[in-house]
Structure 1
Amino acid sequence: MSEQLPHEKGFHVSWDQIHRDARALAWRLDKQGPDDGAWRAVVAITRGGMAPAMIVARELDIRTVDTISIKSYDWQEQVDAEVLKAPSAEVMGADGTGVLIVDDLVDTGKTLELVRGLYPKAHFATVYAKPQGRAMVDTFITEVSQDTWIFFPWDMALQYVRPYRGE
């Protein structure tokens, strides 16, 4: 039996679905911040966390938004996570208290482990979570199996697909 390709156990997420799920994430985070329920800022883990972070920031009326750029994938292969760009020290404070750090997905947890080491008091939220990384995230919306590859709309293009049966 041949090895399964990533698209063979794929979870395809549309723009509508990521929008609904990111709004659900915002609702789950509403009034959960340490400052009378408020959050000081949202930090998106780029690039996948940018769309969900923008939606969360809008829904929760958080005007301070920054990014942390982590490289942990080379195409579809995981590599050692490294920080390419850190968020503002003024936004993060000493330990990230009151800051929501948002990503699209926690997979093995290596990216969040790196960021959590830098900002241990931040709140980590993802839209989707896989079992290996669940312990690294504080709040998420949907769990998928570890062997599922999530196809996000920013990685996709519409194209013709041959029918399942025949030519």
Structure 2
Amino acid sequence: MAKVAVKLVSWDEIADWARDLSSKILESGWRPDVVMAIARGGYVPARLVCDNLGVMDLVSVQVVHWPSTAQAIERAFIKHEARVDSLAGKRVLVIDDIVDTGDSISLAKEYAEKAGAGEVRSAALQWISTVAKFKPDYYSINVTDWKWFVYPWNVTEDVTNFMKRIIMEEGASKNRWGFTELVSKMREWYGDEIMKVPLSYISKALINLEQMGLIERSSNGAEYVVKGK
């Protein structure tokens, strides 16, 4: 059994969920003046919802988590703020791709309220009801079994972080890896679902890890060597 449950999300699913989310907002009888995307995952959903609702004003606020992909989140904080004057007195819809802990969307909602928004509501494509501490006003999918969703706009980033985690956590006993070994280890850690990602993404992830200084190619180019080991 995989150590981390993973689900690859398609562009068609994103479009369907965004239409469904938009329909629920319209059916509620409420319409925002401004949509505020939570960067970076909320960019695409927010733009699609703007299109579906006919909202022209789109702003963003970046909420950062630590640590990274598919690991426990310790804390969320706002890294880049939206222009306060663009929110004052407005009906603001805060949008993210997914609500897991709820820290990001609740923090962004609080920010908009403090910025003087007249009314703030929240929305997400997905809400993980079993673990989230915050329930958005609108959502398309209620996820009852936790897993890590790999969205089409962050496949390379997620695969890079998956590979980094494998190499770092297995590094105590192994410091040289062949490409086939790493692919096999990806399947072991993240299941068959991750193998739907083209191998070119894994190759790009390894290039990223080389550029980060975590690994380097062996002299014959056949293996990846963990640096400092």
TM-score (norm 2): 0.60
Structure 2 partner of 1:21: 17
> Which runs of 5 or more structure 2 residues have no equivalent in the other structure?
114-118, 157-196, 200-229
SS of corresponding position for 1:28? helix
Q: Could you report, residue by residue, the CA deviation over 1:42-83 in whole angstroms, capped at 9, with x for unpaired residues?
A: 010011000000000011110000001000243213231111
The 2-side partners of 1:44 and 1:159 are apart by 29
Count of residue correspondences: 152
Contact 1:112-1:136 within 8 A present in 2 as well: no
- Aligned residue identity for 2:138: T
Aligned match for 2:38, one of 37, 41, 45: 45
Aligned match for 1:109, one of 72, 94, 102: 102
The CA RMSD over aligned residues, in Å, is 2.3
Identical-pair percentage: 23
Higher helix share: 2
Contact 2:127-2:135 within 8 A present in 1 as well: no
The 2-side partners of 1:139 and 1:39 are apart by 13
User: Relative CO higher for 1 or 2, CA cutoff 8 Å, sep ≥ 6?
Assistant: 1
Contact 1:31-1:38 within 8 A present in 2 as well: no
Structure 1 partner of 2:123: 125
1:56 maps to 2:49 = yes
Look at both structures and tell me which one has the larger radius of gyration over its CA atoms: 2
The 2-side partners of 1:118 and 1:25 are apart by 23
The 2-side partners of 1:109 and 1:146 are apart by 16
The 2-side partners of 1:133 and 1:14 are apart by 23
The 2-side partners of 1:123 and 1:134 are apart by 16
- Give the C-alpha shift of residue 31 in structure 1: 5.8
TM-score (norm 1): 0.80
Detail structure 1 runs of 4+ shifted over 6 Å in the superposition: none
